[in-house]
Structure 1
């Protein structure tokens, strides 16, 4: 993704590309989104500290009449891609292609090692009365990640970004699952 594409994504609001939720529906708080996009644009243009992970972790309050969530999430996905591409280019410039490939392989191996755990035991569980991510659904996605990293099966960043799990008592701890999904997305963006 070029810096031009990233600028286009961060300027979407200025051109009126974000629809507003109608009626009593809730969407992302417009001022919060606009502020974050302005900061992302400045960071990208000036070379600030914002990273692809920061963009992925961005969250906004929900308000009546806010921006349509899917529109903002799509723009954030493109911005994240731009930051990841810039990071990859920097690693290649500083250490060469070999260092970039080595880093991506090491990250992928850490993920594969974690997912080698037995079925229904891949992540820590919540207490018996506490809700966590549904185990069978997470294990299914984990299997797809393993097949992607090990065998080259198809899996897109967008599929992982949009992964959602129902809740169950004594399910997997959300923060551990989310961290692994984030790490996998980082690897996928590194090898794009």
Structure 2
């Protein structure tokens, strides 16, 4: 490893009825772009350590619970039907607020924005979500925040929001570019045989 080079912890929060591609898409991007684990340590975290049942009855064993999770450098909040329940879960909202104080980046995929909207973290930010959830998100965001439609992802600096499902892959590639350069991001997309959609995004 190069002198001074760090391996960032990438924590992906999962919960009951999480959308599968919302968390596996970014997971794939960060492990593929990690230079064989040198740049990113990617793991899942849930409220508890028991298996989590995602949409489609996919059972996932989280690597950690919120009680023993290593401090994330990057925290990813995916969406899914379960986001409507988790946005009312005070334990999770408090955990996100606390852990976000020390993270480098917080990423939202799809309706993960609904969960972040219930924290005290998004005042004055621009954000986006799945186009089918625009109305839901507008109802819960503070007046100081602005919902952007028809964009793939929105970069506020520390907080980055993506639109629905596959947009989380585009956002994650953008984050690879932001942290490690465009060539690393392009190489990651090429390894994945994925056509990176870099258009229609907002950056502060």
TM range, smaller chain: under 0.3
Which structure has greater helix proportion? Answer: 1
Q: Scaled by the length of structure 2, what TM-score is found? A: 0.23
Which structure has greater strand proportion? Answer: 2
Q: Scaled by the length of structure 1, what TM-score is found? A: 0.24
The structure number with the bigger radius of gyration is 1
